Structure 1
Amino acid sequence: MANTFGLRALNRATLARQMLLAREDVPVSEAVERLGGLQAQEPRPPYLGLWTRVAGFQAADLHAALHDRSLVRATMMRGTLHLVSAADYTALRAPLQPMLDTALRVLGKRAEGLDLDAVLPVARELLLERQRTFNEVRALLRERFPEVDDRALGHAVRMCLPLVMVPTQDRWGFPRTSEFALAESWVGTAPDEKAAPEALVLRYLAAFGPASAADAQAWSGLPGLAEVLDGLRPGLRVFADERGRELFDLPDAPRPDEDAPAPARFLPEFDSLVLAHADRTRVISDAHRPALTTKNLRVRATFLWDGFACGTWEMESRRKTATLRLRPFEPLPQEALDDLTAEGRALLRFAEPDAKDHVVTVAEDG
């Protein structure tokens, strides 16, 4: 009979993998691999996500890793932009392609006349010539395929060609409109087309386990992972949650005591911790989960107290004063406010180093 994992034990195990029980002194590229990648819909959140996890992290560390090409920003899990190591991109991109192909369904009628066998070779040639923005790619493809919707052309290229975004010296690594390059040109090797989903699932368990097949599917966007986990079963530990659902994990992965201290931590927008499980109660209650997502599907920045998401936060800078505003889901004890204030001021000093004052407040509607 499988051992049962309680809610707090699941919380602490996941926080340990995500470097949220203590900041760890590891190179940035290694940290990103251990974290299973960082969602990077916008360029700033990975910087904040690494600051909250890596001891002594400086923005220059991530800049350097992007420019030496050990880290790349590319379309990966769930068809969204992620920051991943170049090694993981090469090893894990191909197993995600069936999910990326399925993502083309969102085009609906706009995909009429779209012939991938004709479009993708042309797009490849355009990007072999030089790095280009997607506005350029769409315009040039429209010249060749005038009968096809330009957004459909761009979306097909983004989902079906292995591409990476080209970093610059902008503050957060990328400009508002970035150029793209073929992965094989930027990284030096094309994704391994023979790669199987087993490696993807093992990377997931290392970063977010113990977890169910449904959890792995929610993180990756890939269906059918129960069969993959079943094949890996002889080499995994198998547990059960309090509802009796099977949870899989790597044998030697950290599983700290459920009473292990969990310090106050700030997670940026789109952080994978709050997105990586089908059942997210190990991090946030079902009652509070709707508050994480805006009407236009932005995932709000959250803060953790005693390991669980207890509210959202936002940052602004005006007249040399940087302010971090807490919006708790429920009233917080004074101990939590004290710890969050200290941690919040440290985050402000990192994110807004030119500000003269760094202030943490609690919103009146929080």
Structure 2
Amino acid sequence: MDDQELLLRRMHAQFGRPEAAAVAVARSSGGVQAQDAAAARLALRARGVADPAEPGRAQAAGEVVSTWLMRGTLHLVPAADARWMLGLFAARNLAGGARRRRELGLTDEICARALELLPTLPQGPHSRAALVALLGERGVGIDPKGQAPAHLMAYAAAHGLLCRGADVAPREPGYLPMPAGGPPPADPAAALAGRYLAAFGPAGPADFGAWAGLPVTAARSAFEAASAEQPSPGLFAVAGAAGPSSGPPLVRLLGAYDGYLLGYRSRAVMLDEAFAQRINAGGGVIRPAVVADGRVLGTWRRERDGLVVEAFGPLPRGVRAALAEEAAAVAAFLGVPDVLTLA
């Protein structure tokens, strides 16, 4: 399998599915990166959620929730799956945040008392500030202006007490009790590996480990249990997965922190090293990207009078035509004029 075929298969696995509801996209993607709410909405759109009201509706209905999972990062997942997915990452995330909690004054005693009180508070959703105020009224004093409240929310989430639901105000996420969910799969790690391969394959165990934040040995074991097939040495895919059919280029305008850019150990095959810093200049920031048939060809931004694309070089005619169609769909989703500017 050469790089072109590999990228085509990955692109169509990630973005080539028919229109779907937010909960279905969150499930088939293995979770949607959600530390940036606007970027999460764009990630859903790129994978088949055409209605701009659908992400908010799904959250308000309790179909999807956000919690700290892969790599200790917020991900949007089906409510039915949140608890068993949390079981894969909670201990690792708690250990990873222990030092920072101590630095913020979140002692073991404060955290334990908060865990006791949270289930007794009035049912949410509540803003983070409201939860801190309610805990303060009951003797758990937390500085509301620093980072301590955010880390306490993540700590409580790792213990299965709460998660993020619909916003309670603009740019103000609401916290509510973690849903009970459905019965867990017999092998949660294998189930997650199967979802990863369906969305990101062909890929290797090291890719899965990098995406999930798991050791390669654990990732390899999950691949083996997922009954994956090997279409090429070192690369695995869902058994029976078909390759993409011929057609015009598949182009997507991806939001910041999109999972496609975070789904592999290396971006070298999709992104020319000469332009890598224009996507990731450091500090963990992943900029919005223009992707065509798996290759990152530029960046883009939203402006008041439309969308602006900064390509890394001349775009082939077929890509330009597909880009115009994609930009029109993104503009409609964002509610901006259907004006595309190539900078």
TM range (shorter): 0.7 to 0.9
One-letter amino acid of the structure 2 residue matched with residue 349 of structure 1? A
SS where residue 304 of structure 1 aligns?
strand
- Name the CA distance, whole Å, in 2 between partners of 1:267 and 1:359: 17
Give the counterpart letter for 2:331 in structure 1: L
Cα 1:7–1:312 change in 2 (3 A) is same
> Residue 171 of structure 2 aligns with which residue?
176
**Equivalent residue for 1:247?**
235
Instruction: Report the counterpart of residue 54 of structure 2 in structure 1.
Output: 61
Task: State the one-letter code of the partner of 1:161.
Answer: H
Contact 2:310–2:342 (CA under 8 A) maintained in structure 1: yes
Amino acid across the alignment from 1:60: A
- Please state how far the C-alpha of 1:323 moved relative to its aligned partner: 1.9
Separation in 2, partners of 1:247, 1:333 = 29
Distance in 2, Cα, partners of 1:147 & 1:306: 49
Give me the whole-angstrom Cα distance separating, in 2, the residues matched to 1:50 and 1:67. Answer: 16
Q: Aligned runs of 1:72-111 on 2, under 5 Å? A: 72-105=65-98, 107=100, 110=103
Matching of residue 124 in structure 1 with residue 118 in structure 2: yes
Change (3 A) 1:46 1:290: same
Determine if contact 2:114/2:135 at 8 Å carries over to the other structure.
no
For structure 1, which segment, 75-84 or 158-167, has the greater mean C-alpha deviation from structure 2 after superposition? 158-167
Aligned 8 A contact 2:27 2:78 in 1: yes
The CA distance in 1 between the partners of 2:252 and 2:53, in whole Å, is 22
- Aligned residue pair count: 336
Alignment-mate amino acid for residue 238 of structure 1: Q
1:359 alignment counterpart: 339
- Structure 2 partner of 1:210: 202
CA distance in 2, matches of 1:18, 1:336: 18
Q: Does structure 2 conserve the Cα–Cα contact (< 8 Å) formed by 1:14 and 1:208?
A: yes
Cα RMSD (Å): 3.2
Tell whether 2:265 aligns with 1:278: yes
The amino acid across from 2:25 in the alignment is A
Which of 204, 221, 231 matches 2:213? Answer: 221
Output the amino acid matched with 2:194: L
1:115-163 Cα distance to aligned partner (Å, 9 max, x none): 1772452353355654332223345556745599973464144142333
Could you tell me the TM-score, scaled by structure 2's length?
A: 0.84
Evaluate the alpha carbon distance shift between residue 344 and residue 106 of structure 1 in structure 2; reply closer, same or farther with a 3 A threshold: farther
Distance 1:39 1:67 in 2: 18
Q: Does the CA-based 8 Å contact 1:16-1:254 persist in structure 2?
A: no
Code of the residue aligned with 2:42 in structure 1: it is: L
Say yes or no: does 1:268 pair with 2:255. yes
Give the one of 19, 25, 28 matched to 1:31: 25
d(CA) in 2 for partners of 1:73, 1:7: 34
* Residues 72, 165 of structure 1: 8 Å contact kept: yes
Percentage identity across aligned positions? Answer: 26
- For the 8 Å contact 1:239–1:248, the answer to whether it is kept is yes
Residue pair 1:324, 1:361 contacting (<8 A) in 2 also:
yes
For residue 238 of structure 1, what is the aligned residue in structure 2?
A: 230
Which amino acid in the other structure matches residue 242 of structure 2? P
1:331 partnered with 2:321: no
Sort the Cα spacing of 1:254 and 1:31 in 2 relative to 1 into closer, same or farther, 3 A.
farther
- The answer (yes or no) to whether the contact 1:126–1:137 under 8 Å persists in 2 is no
